[in-house]
Amino acid sequence: MSVIHLSMADLGLAALLVLLLAALSFVLRLQLQRQILISAARTTIQLLLIGLVLKSLFASSSPFWIALMALVMLAVAGREVMQRQKRPFRGAWGYGLGTLSMFVSSFATTVFALQAVIGTEPWYLPQYSIPLLGMMLGNTMNGVALALDRLTSSAWQQRAVIETRLTLGQDWSEAIADISRDSLRTGMLPIINAMAAAGIVSLPGMMTGQILSGTPPLEAVKYQILIMFMIAAGTGFASVIATWLGARRLFDARQRLRLSRLAGGE
C-alpha cells in the first residue's frame, strides 16, 4: 500500500477549519480566536522545525545528538508541568519535581521497551527512541501535572485538617495520605480512561498514523498496545514519585506543614 503524500495546498485546506473555528469564536464572543490562531501557527512552525531536526538526526544516528534532543524534550516537559499548576512549589523544586519524576519514569520505561521488547540495534536508534520517548513524556507530563496540581491545591484548601491531624499525633505521611491518594487517582485517571476506550471509542494516534502510512493493521495494533502499556506504567510511576516527593516537601524536618513553599503560599 503506497503512502499518499500531502502537499502544502492540502494542509492549507485543513487550516481553513481552524480559521472557521477562530471566526466562530469571534462571532460568539468567546475571545479565544487569538489563542486559536497563535496555537495553530505554533503547531505548524514547531512541527516543521522538528521534522527538519529529525531528518538530520535519523541520518546521523549520533548518540550525542539523540541524548541532547532527549534532554531538551525533558526540559520543556518539566517547564510545562510547572506552568500547569495553580500553586507550584517555589524555586528549583517547582521545576525539579516534575522533571525528576518524568526522567526516572519515562526514560527507564523507554529504555526497557527499546532493549527488552522491540530489540532495536543499536538500542538508541532515533527512529524508535525519539518517537517513543516523545509519547512517553507527553502523556506522563499530563499525569504528573494533574497529580501535583491536585496535591498542592488540596493541601492549601485542607490545611486546617492536615494541621489538626498533626496535632493529634499523626506523622506527615498519615496527615496527608488521603490527599496523596486522591492526587494519584487524578494523575492516573486519564490514561486509565484512554486504555478503556482504545479500539472501541477511539483509535489512538500512533495506530492511526501507522495504518495511514501503510502498516498492516494488526502490526499497528501490536505497537499501539505496547505504547499504551508503556504510557500507563510511565504515568503511574511518575505520578507516584512526584506525589511522594511533593507531599514530603510540604513538611519541614519537624513535620510541620509549610505552605510557604508553594507559590502564593503564606
> What integer pLDDT is reported at residue 246 of this predicted model?
94
> What integer pLDDT is reported at residue 54 of this predicted model?
87
Taking alpha carbons only, the member of 94, 192, 193, 81 closest to residue 138 is 81
Amino acid at 263: A
Cα–Cα distance between 88 and 101 in angstroms, integer?
A: 15
Cell readout for 68 is 541532547
Say which residues have a Cβ less than 8 Å from residue 65's Cβ, sequence separation at least 6: 57
> What integer pLDDT is reported at residue 3 of this predicted model?
65
Cell readout for 69 is 534532543
> What integer pLDDT is reported at residue 121 of this predicted model?
86
> What integer pLDDT is reported at residue 217 of this predicted model?
83
Per-residue pLDDT of the chain (266 residues; tens, 9 = 90+): 556 788 889 899 999 999 999 999 999 999 999 999 999 999 999 999 988 988 888 888 889 999 999 999 999 999 999 998 999 999 899 999 999 999 999 999 999 999 999 888 888 999 899 989 998 998 899 999 999 999 999 999 999 999 999 999 999 999 999 999 999 999 999 999 988 888 777 777 777 777 777 778 888 888 888 888 999 999 999 999 999 999 999 999 888 999 888 887 65
Instruction: Name the 3-class secondary structure at 152.
Output: helix
- pTM for this one? 0.84
Cα–Cα distance between 172 and 11 in angstroms, integer?
A: 54
Burial 71-81 (b: 16+ CB within 10 A, else e): eebbeebbebb
Cα–Cα distance between 95 and 71 in angstroms, integer?
A: 14
Opening angle at CA 208, ends 81 and 107, nearest 5: 35
Instruction: Name the 3-class secondary structure at 52.
Output: helix
DSSP string of 189-210? HHHHHHHHHBTTTB--HHHHHH
Say which residues have a Cβ less than 8 Å from residue 226's Cβ, sequence separation at least 6: 113, 117, 118
Say which residues have a Cβ less than 8 Å from residue 187's Cβ, sequence separation at least 6: 143, 144, 146, 147, 148, 150, 235, 239, 242, 243
